[in-house]
Amino acid sequence: MERVNRTIRAWRIAIERDPERIRSGLNRAFPLLLGGALAFTIGFGWPDAPATSRASSSDATTGPEASAEPIRPIPRQMDLDPQKVALGDRLFHDPQLSRNGEISCASCHDLQMGGTDRLPRSLGIDGQEGTINSPTVFNADFNFRQFWDGRAADLEEQIDGPMNNPLEMGFNWEDLMARLNADQKYMEQFLLVYGEDPTPARVRDAIAEFERSLFTPNARFDRYLRGDANALTPDEKSGYSLFKQYGCIACHQGTNVGGNMYQKFGVLGDYFADRDAQKTSQSRHRSSSQQGGDDAHRAAVAKADLGRFNVTGREEDRHKFKVPSLRNVELTPPYFHDGSAKTLQEAVRIMGRYQLGVTLPPRDVDQIVLFLKTLTGEYRGRSLQIEDARSGSTQNDAN
């Protein structure tokens, strides 16, 4: 235990000096932590990513209780430009941003569905299937990088991805500029916000500002962190204790309960070999017509499994992914970059097995899931949970 505490102290200091390198290096140090710390019940505060998040300074944030915990509450206010947010909102929901006018950002990041499409893999223009599960846009600004493999540094940079991806919006900036220039209302709005005509940089700026408005404060867990001991039930509190004791917290922590480091999927077992073995045995029972998808698409999906390796080409980055945020996670099934886990229970069991090398007893899984459900927050003053329950799985956007 002492050794573990010392290691953690050393990391904290090192992370402050060189966050990106240390976070990605945590994977190598992880077995050390695991060795002594499967039962660690400590509360240690990890510094958050130096993201551009603009927590409002007027937001009275953490009390003494909160600062001792490895998870931080989401700020209750952000300093944002309302006119940029309004313009970004319109762009985000506008299918004119895709080549054939069919697909908007919101098609795959539906704010009524936790900011995702609830599909294993997204569908882009002409109904084409993508290669990876769509993560939520809620709280994305609190992630230290964007995309599963972290290939975009920030929200502005991220936008070029879907814009140019032939399986997503299949479009380009030049033609989009022509479309916006032909639209009187957009021209007026850009003039109002920027005093100038639309440019790719201004489109990126407005959409990113809108995405920064997609923060979800006041989750019950955040109220607990801010000192309201009654915000959680005893079972939910036990779930949080288990989350720390088993060591989930080593990877899922900070403001986003994730989103601030890369980790291998399959630290203590070969997730990919087991998954593919299972798939092969299942597909033997199906007719060949059900096994859709051509070879090129299958290869692209297999490539997506390589994670950060696709960005760096380094062997040590094979199957490494940005640890996803667990904020609002109950709203965003199916789980994992491959959309393979249909329920939170299943995702938690797999995490126990492949990230921690333990078979979690069903009761512990249930309590951890109860804790995870307390991470559901509010968007524009309304609980995402209630919103969601009322509307079911409608295609409508929140606006």
Smallest separation, CB 63 to ligand HEC (Å)? 26
> Nearest approach, Cβ of 110 to ligand HEC (angstroms)?
10
Which distant-in-sequence residues (6+ apart) come within 8 Å of 200 by Cβ?
A: 173, 176, 177
Asked if 214 and 379 count as a contact pair (C-beta separation under 8 A), the reply is yes
For ligand HEC, which residue of 19, 70, 114, 135 counts as binding (CB under 6 A)? 135
Query: What single string gives the DSSP state of each residue in 318-371?
Result: TTEEEPPP-TTGGGS-SBTTTT-B-SHHHHHHHHHHHHH-----HHHHHHHHHH
Alpha-carbon distances, residue 76 vs 112, 258, 318, 385 (angstroms):
21, 19, 37, 18
Which of 60/299 has CB closer to ligand HEC?
Answer: 299
Work out whether strand 262-264 and strand 378-379 pair parallel, antiparallel, or are unpaired. unpaired
Nearest to 243 by CA among 71, 24, 7, 64: 71
User: How many residues are there in the chain?
Assistant: 399
Q: How many Å apart are CA 150 and CA 135, to the nearest integer?
A: 12
Q: Which residues, numbered 139-158, are part of the site for ligand HEC (CB under 6 A)?
A: 140, 143, 146-148, 155, 158
Q: What mask of x and - would describe binding to ligand HEC in positions 50 to 79, judged by CB under 6 A? A: ------------------------------
Task: Decide if 168 is catalytic.
Answer: yes
Minimum Å distance from CB 64 to ligand HEC?
Answer: 27
Q: How far is the CB of 190 from ligand HEC (least distance, A)?
A: 16
State the Cα–Cα distance between residues 396 and 329, nearest whole angstrom. Answer: 20
DSSP H helical ranges for the chain: 2-17, 19-37, 64-67, 82-92, 105-108, 155-158, 160-164, 173-181, 184-194, 200-212, 220-225, 234-246, 271-283, 295-304, 309-312, 344-356, 362-373, 384-391
Segment near ligand HEC (CB under 6 A); pick from 138-146, 176-184, 230-238, 377-385: 138-146
Of 61, 112, 332, 374, the one binding ligand HEC (CB under 6 A) is 332
From the list 69, 168, 209, 378, the catalytic residue is 168
For ligand HEC (CB under 6 A), the number of binding residues is 55
62 vs 78 by CB, closer to ligand HEC:
78
Q: Which is nearer to ligand HEC, 62 or 147 (CB)?
A: 147
Interface residues with ligand HEC (CB under 6 A) are: 30, 92, 97, 103, 105, 107-109, 122, 124, 130, 132, 134-135, 137, 140, 143, 146-148, 155, 158-159, 162-163, 168-169, 207, 211, 246-248, 250-252, 263, 265, 267, 321, 323-324, 326, 329, 332, 335-337, 344, 347-348, 351-352, 355-356, 368
Active-site positions read 168
